[in-house]
Amino acid sequence: KKEKKVSRIVFHEITKKAIENALKNPRDIDLNLVDAQQARRILDRLVGYELSPFLWKKIKRGLSAGRVQSVALRFIVEREREIEKFKSEEYWAIGARLKKGKDEFDASLVEQNGKKIEEVVTLKLFAGDYKTKKSTISSKEAAEKIEDDLKKAKYKVISIEEKETLRNPAAPFTTSTLQQAAISNFGFSAKQTMMAAQKLYEEGYITYMRTDSVNLSLESLVAAKKVITNLFGKNYALESPRYYKTKSKSAQEAHEAIRPTDLEKNPDDLMPILEPNQYKLYKLIWNRTVACQMQSARLNSVKADIEALGAKVNYLLKATGSTVIFDGFLKVYGNKSSQPETFLPPLKENDILDLVSTESEQKYTSAPPRYNEATLVKILEEYGIGRPSTYAPTISTIIERKYVDKNEEKRLFPLEIGYPVNDVLVENFPQIVSIDFTAEIEKDFDEIANGKLKWVPMIDEFYKPFHKNLEEKTKTVKKEDLLEKLDRKCPECGGDLVVRFGRFGKFIACSNYPQCKYTEKTAEEKKEEEENAGIVCDKCGAPMIVKRGRFGSFLGCSKYPECKNIMKIEQKVGLKCPKCKAGDVVARKSKKGKVFYGCNKYPNCDFAMWNKPTGEFCPDCGQPLAFAIKGKIKCSNKECKYEQ
């Protein structure tokens, strides 16, 4: 039978024009790309299918390992340990409120006797260098002495530097930068972002959303110029297009950047059609695509060096100001800028200034921050680990496996099972969780895609030493050696007590198991039982006891199986209900699984709020304060603008 010739068509957006064009221009199947995909799939299965059973035998069943997920877990575990080791140091920042005529402005102390006040401390971390700032003023007494000096001084402008600076728009979105922006702006998870983007792509509103390219098609560049001219005027459009270069180490750039398929479709026109998350994401993409082809914003920047005269010590203060001369691309964002304008009055050299007040602020050096989904995606991309299609599933996997979780600020931290899983892999399979190795493998896949490397020898070179090491570790690594030992003895046989992991979490047991089957509850379990003591069954009146299942702790009737009543354990947040004054505010889940906080007297009291309360009340309106994104604390009352 004669074989039929099979061709491949390629399109990056689901529009009539793109599909018709693809049908007119079929191409041969690129077997190098097929081989690269096959190599990736096989290698990932070899790692996952062989390492996961190793974890089942040595720690507990239901665990998994993977070429990308295990490195992502390592980033989070290493960062947590770096935070624990970090020792915060006190320092003080000092400023002065100065006046020229009727105009007041702020200046910061920057030098003392010709030496800079600010120091940069560099820490060597697993993910690279981390820089934190501190000052040489290390105590309240030293700060007060400087303030006393400054209060007695006269102030003179010794130099003025004024220049025009440009602020350029960011590149159009890749998968990674879209996820980062959606997390930062809306608090979306990587998974939520990709689900909304997938819908927008399927409905023909945006181009393909799994890409590492920052390139835009000529057609879209022409469309952008037309839209910019029509909406904002000729002076906002570029004479010739602006092009960007990718910063990603492993970028393949097989697709365009993420952009609207039709820039004439304004976000606000689509608002009635799109779901809320889709609308937010489409507007984000539309704004970024249009902004990247607009003129740069022009700013006037002023720096003034001011000397404190008459003090025993030479002090130098610095004041800075920045004003927008031409908004350029900021226009598309409603002139919102990440760097707000600061005004300085007209100053010139030798001007004498008056002191209004001084201020000192106690600060502490900041520990390296935990990753959120945005910064984890960013670090994975920076090191060339994984592909645009794998970022969201990787994060979802390590959360679903309960290796990590998110706190109120949506930052990732390791859970109790995450530590031993990471440590076993680092100790016994360092290559698999090595940043460099994982990035090199990605380069090999690219070489296969480019026809420069054969996939079978590449897999063979990896698998033989990997499998040999796995067989050796399976024999030599004893489960007992991986258990956390407590400095207490078993009360029944005198053996060492250790921490083991079961189906429903960790528990304390004797190291001589199975000869000795002694077990006891952890301190956390005992505390949970104490907090829920005295609760009686609302069906039979018997005491309720804490039980554990696959979804966590719950209260079950002590007369089970005669009475099968169960109740949820209320997660109190340390706040009395501000509405009824009688109930406690507890964590609850909506029908869609989203956590919110409400009164435990519901349905008699319907108080509820989305963000986790801090336990304190707003000094302006008296309503509960709540944790918000980016580490902020805001009032839960939408009409109140108070925030910290």
Better-scored residue on pLDDT, 480 or 560: 560
Cα–Cα distance, 131 to 123 (Å, whole number): 6
CATH number assigned to the domain with residue range 90-168+298-364, chosen from the 4 options 2.70.20.10, 3.30.1330.10, 3.30.1490.100, 3.10.150.10: 2.70.20.10
Cβ partners under 8 Å of residue 343, min gap 6? 105, 321, 323
Nearest to 174 by CA among 277, 102, 258, 100: 258
Percent of all residues in the chain with a pLDDT value above 70, rounded to a whole number: 93
pLDDT in tens, 309-337: 876 788 999 999 988 899 999 999 876 65
Question: What does the buried/exposed string (b/e) look like for 15-48 if buried means 16 or more CB atoms within 10 Å of the residue's CB?
Answer: eeebeeeeeeeeeeeeebbebbeebbeebbebbb
- The predicted pLDDT at position 397 comes to 93
pLDDT class of 436 with cuts at 50, 70, 90: confident
Cα–Cα distance, 67 to 640 (Å, whole number): 48
Q: Judge whether 489 and 511 are in contact, CB under 8 Å.
A: no
Better-scored residue on pLDDT, 387 or 200: 200
Q: Where are the domains of the chain?
A: 31-85+418-479, 90-168+298-364, 175-295, 483-520, 571-644
Mean pLDDT check: name the lowest of 233-247, 361-375, 427-441, 621-635. 621-635
Fold (topology level) of 175-295: Topoisomerase I; domain 4 (1.10.290)
Catalytic one among 130, 201, 208, 383? Answer: 208
Average pLDDT estimate for 262-275: 94
Average pLDDT estimate for 58-80: 92
Residue with tokens 């000192």: 360
3-state secondary structure 126-176: CCEEEEEEEECCCCHHHHHHHHHHHHHCEEEEEEEEEEEEEECCCCCECHH
Question: What does the buried/exposed string (b/e) look like for 507-524 if buried means 16 or more CB atoms within 10 Å of the residue's CB?
Answer: bbbbbbeeeeeeeeeeee
Question: Are 31-85+418-479 and 90-168+298-364 in the same CATH fold?
Answer: no
State which H helix or E strand residue 222 sits in. Answer: helix 218-232
For the chain, counts of helices (H) and of strands (E): 15, 27
Q: Is the dihedral of CA 276, 278, 284, 287 positive or negative?
A: negative
Average pLDDT estimate for 63-84: 94
Q: Is the pTM of this model over 0.95?
A: no
Better-scored residue on pLDDT, 505 or 104: 104
Cα–Cα distance, 632 to 644 (Å, whole number): 6
- The predicted pLDDT at position 388 comes to 81
Q: Judge whether 197 and 13 are in contact, CB under 8 Å.
A: no
Mean pLDDT of the chain: 87
- The predicted pLDDT at position 252 comes to 47
Cα–Cα distance, 172 to 166 (Å, whole number): 19
Does the pLDDT of residue 254 top 80, yes or no? no
pLDDT in tens, 611-631: 888 888 888 888 888 877 655
Does the pLDDT of residue 549 top 70, yes or no? no
- The predicted pLDDT at position 643 comes to 76
Question: How many whole angstroms from its chain centre is CA 351?
Answer: 47
Residue with tokens 């984000």: 284
**Long-range contacts, stretch 578-586, CB < 8 angstroms, 24+ apart:** 578/607, 578/617, 578/622, 578/623, 578/624, 579/605, 579/606, 579/607, 580/604, 580/605, 580/607, 583/607, 585/609, 585/613, 585/624
pLDDT in tens, 127-150: 999 988 899 999 999 999 999 999
Better-scored residue on pLDDT, 626 or 171: 171
Mean pLDDT check: name the lowest of 316-325, 412-421, 543-552. 543-552
Does the pLDDT of residue 288 top 90, yes or no? yes
- Cα→Cα distances 495→58, 60, 480, Å: 20, 22, 13
pLDDT in tens, 582-608: 888 888 777 666 678 888 888 888 888
Which CATH code for domain 31-85+418-479? 1.10.460.10
- The predicted pLDDT at position 1 comes to 56
Mean pLDDT check: name the lowest of 19-23, 362-366, 486-490, 638-642. 638-642
pLDDT class of 160 with cuts at 50, 70, 90: very high
pLDDT class of 21 with cuts at 50, 70, 90: confident
Q: Is the dihedral of CA 265, 268, 269, 270 positive or negative?
A: positive
- The predicted pLDDT at position 55 comes to 92
The one-letter code for the residue type at 494 is G
Does the pLDDT of residue 249 top 60, yes or no? no
Percent of all residues in the chain with a pLDDT value above 90, rounded to a whole number: 48
Better-scored residue on pLDDT, 534 or 363: 363
- The predicted pLDDT at position 81 comes to 94
Average pLDDT estimate for 472-484: 82
Mean pLDDT check: name the lowest of 88-92, 98-102, 160-164, 582-586. 582-586
CA torsion 219-225-230-233 (nearest 10°) is: 180
Highest mean pLDDT among 288-292, 360-364, 536-540: 288-292
Average pLDDT estimate for 524-537: 67
Cβ–Cβ contacts within 10 Å for residue 232, how many?
A: 18
- Cα→Cα distances 79→74, 214, 310, 482, Å: 8, 30, 48, 22
pLDDT class of 172 with cuts at 50, 70, 90: very high
463: annotated active-site residue? no
Residue with tokens 């969780």: 433
Average pLDDT estimate for 474-500: 84
Average pLDDT estimate for 223-244: 94
Average pLDDT estimate for 426-434: 92
Nearest to 230 by CA among 133, 332, 129, 105: 332
- The predicted pLDDT at position 117 comes to 92
Highest mean pLDDT among 210-219, 541-550, 603-612: 210-219
Cα–Cα distance, 135 to 143 (Å, whole number): 11
Q: Judge whether 306 and 106 are in contact, CB under 8 Å.
A: no
Cβ-count burial of 253 within 10 angstroms (0-12 exposed, 13-18 middle, 19+ buried)? Answer: middle
What is the DSSP code string of 414-474?
E-TTHHHHHHHHHHH-TTTT-HHHHHHHHHHHHHHHTTSS-HHHHHHHHHHHHHHHHHHHH
Does the pLDDT of residue 250 top 50, yes or no? no
Question: What does the buried/exposed string (b/e) look like for 599-611 if buried means 16 or more CB atoms within 10 Å of the residue's CB?
Answer: bebeeebebebeb
pLDDT class of 105 with cuts at 50, 70, 90: very high
Does the pLDDT of residue 65 top 70, yes or no? yes
pLDDT class of 538 with cuts at 50, 70, 90: confident
Can you read off the two tokens belonging to residue 64? 């998994």
pLDDT class of 552 with cuts at 50, 70, 90: low
Average pLDDT estimate for 626-639: 75
Cα–Cα distance, 549 to 547 (Å, whole number): 7
- The predicted pLDDT at position 631 comes to 59
